[in-house]
Chain A
Amino acid sequence: MSSLLSLTMLAETLRIAAPYACAAAGGIWAERAGIIHIGLEGVLLTSGFTGVAVAAATGSAAMGLCAGVAAGAALSLAHALVTEKARVDAVVSGIAVNLLAMAGTRLLLRGLYDSSSNSPSIDGFRFGPTGASGAALLARVLCDPVTLVGVLAIAASPWVLTRTRFGLRVRACGENPAAAAAAGIDVARTRICALLVSGAICALGGIHLAFDQHRFESGMSNGRGFIALAAVVVSGWRVGRAALACLAFGALEALQIVLQDQTRRTAIGDLIQLLPYVGTLVVLAFAAGRAAAPQGIGKHVEP
């Protein structure tokens, strides 16, 4: 029982929750602007791959971080252009984004590294104390630059969305694009900018994921983008609450890791993997009635 309340558990929770929280914050930025972003999964993959590829090529993890963020923002931008300029349904575009990212990263793995499963390993950021104790693990998690930037971005998001002119415009476009347009806001441009931010924040999650494993693996996002979407709904489109939901989810997954170490893969041990998903379903069922989605999602202003 003590292992459930240890520093290891806390460190694992933070480490696991970080990509979810970044993706959820990215999702909130997009949906607050009025564009459903199913493609978070694809953004995670693309940014993770780009981050690792650039870090491997230049030998600099910081360069990898920048390139990954740029790639995530670019993919998100493409999604915004397709939905805003070409007026394709956002879900359709999101599905295409995911497919493109999934296939594209696998294609590039084959092309660049001649492997169908993973990239060569990279150093990534290595800060903080070494050692296997819970305290050292926690210190490493807290010192990780990607985590820190992600936490900063998540902490700043509510403030930017509620207190700044840009944030107000974004929310206006998400709630009532027609009224926003009447007030002189360029809805399409505001949404595109919001999606750039969305992609950049979500990309931090993908880079965290890949740097944490010290390599990119095919399909390594493994549904995290979709679970982040669930967190978005549960949170009622608020970044802080979404981050909390992701922490809770991270705790469930960490629990599963800690417990599985103990139960040594018994038949029931495998079923513990179900916990996060069943938990999400149950929470969704209770939260959905009260959730208030931005009113302007999917609506456009005719030019």
Chain B
Amino acid sequence: MTEPAAEPPQRSQGRNDAVTRWLWRAVEMVVALLGMLLVFDLIAFAFGQAPLSTLRRAAEGSWGTPYGVGQLLFKATPLIFTGLAFDVALRAGLFNIGTEGQLGAASLVAALCAAHLPAWLPWPLGVVVALTVAAATGALVALPPALMRARLGVHEIISGIMMNRIVEVLLPWVLGAVLVSATLRTPDIVPSAAMPRIEQMHGSAVSLAFVLAVATAFGVHWALVKSRVGREMRWVGLGPDACRAEGVDVPRRVLGAMLLSGAVAALAMSGTVLGYKGYYELGLGAGTGFSGIVVAMLGRGSPLGIVIAAVLLGTLEQAGFAINARVPKEAMDVVEAVAIVLVAIAYRQAGAARQGATPAPRQDAAPAGPPGEAAS
């Protein structure tokens, strides 16, 4: 890493700071992109394919046609929600690894609810009801880990994973034993609960849910920055001890951040259930929870960053399908993993370079990424 443009940190203030920060964000993104390209090329090469032509096929399959663009936006839609969900928790210093279960449970419950709404309901009302039910279910699934973290100090990663497993067992049980559906799917939702497709995209699956996702990303960010509760959540993430000293109710904010995160993750069903299938079937949306972590890592606390990262991952996924005949689409997941590490390292190095001339950091300062945990 080179030093940033000769700009003595003591004098760089306000505008200059912002410019430098954005420059470094750009550097991070470029480093990550180059690393991803390199890894992809190596994999393509290992599978006996010419990297360049494979890359061209991948690009044509994703950004090359309106249909491809629509498909990649469709794939980005749930990722924006789950990425945002992980990010919301992260800002409060929490790892909500349970988005997978929150989304799964919410998809099932909200799809069931949307299927049994009265038929006379006008259009947007059904959507509103379905989304509300989904958010409530997501928050409910997030509640046990949230309570255990806030009140008992149980690390939310482990309890979150347990909740994921519990939902994973419950979903087929509800579909198979309770609903007695041989195909393991819910009935079709009523028309008033459907998210309309965006017709300009030539038959692709992108729906209004994408617009909702982008709006949610900016709305939640705005709430975290502007509202008192939101600010306190972020403070808890920055320094729980200081918050305690200042009289902030830390357990309550931890609880709130976790529940909000669960609710946001649950909204991802708007893209898959309401906007695409029109029902929930076992496995729909599986994996988006974990990919959301990657989105949050790449987007790092900015709504625009999260949207861009989600579109990037959607592109990778769509491109993966385009080249699947030549190189297995799993190659794209490997590329993702490498991207996380590269971005984290670049972020860390950039942070070190930024702080270069400022007073030495605390000896035991927490490393890059989320600030340290509250004493558990």
Contact = CB atoms under 8 A, between A and B. Distances in A.
Contact of A229 (B148, B152, B157, B366): B157
Give the top 7 A-B pairs by smallest Cβ distance, nearest first: A89-B369, A103-B333, A100-B337, A267-B177, A110-B328, A99-B337, A226-B161
5 contacts: A88-B348, A103-B334, A103-B336, A233-B154, A284-B162
Interface in B189-206: none
Q: Contact residue range for chain A?
A: 35 or more
B177 A230 contact: no
Interface of B: 43, 46-47, 95, 144, 148, 152-155, 157-159, 161-166, 169-170, 172-173, 176-178, 290, 293-294, 297, 328, 330-334, 336-338, 340-341, 344-345, 348-349, 352, 360-361, 363-370, 372-373, 376
B169 A301 contact: no
Interface in A203-257: 223, 226-227, 229-230, 233
Contacts of A92: 297, 340, 344, 368-369
Interface of A: 38, 82-83, 86-93, 95-97, 99-100, 102-104, 106-107, 110-111, 116, 177-178, 223, 226-227, 229-230, 233, 267, 270-271, 273-274, 277-278, 280-281, 284-285, 288-289, 291, 293, 298-302
Instruction: Tell me what chain B mostly uses at the interface: helix, strand, loop, or mixed.
Output: helix
Contacts of A178: 363-364
A228 to B, nearest CB: 10
B221 to A, nearest CB: 21
Contact of A274 (B170, B331, B341, B376): B170
A82 to B, nearest CB: 6
A103 B345 CA distance: 21
Contacts of B153: 288-289
A116 B345 CA distance: 32
Contacts of B345: 82, 86, 88
A284 B348 contact: no
Contacts of B370: 89, 91
Given A89-B368, A302-B363, A281 B144 contact: yes
A71 B269 CA distance: 38
A299 B364 contact: yes
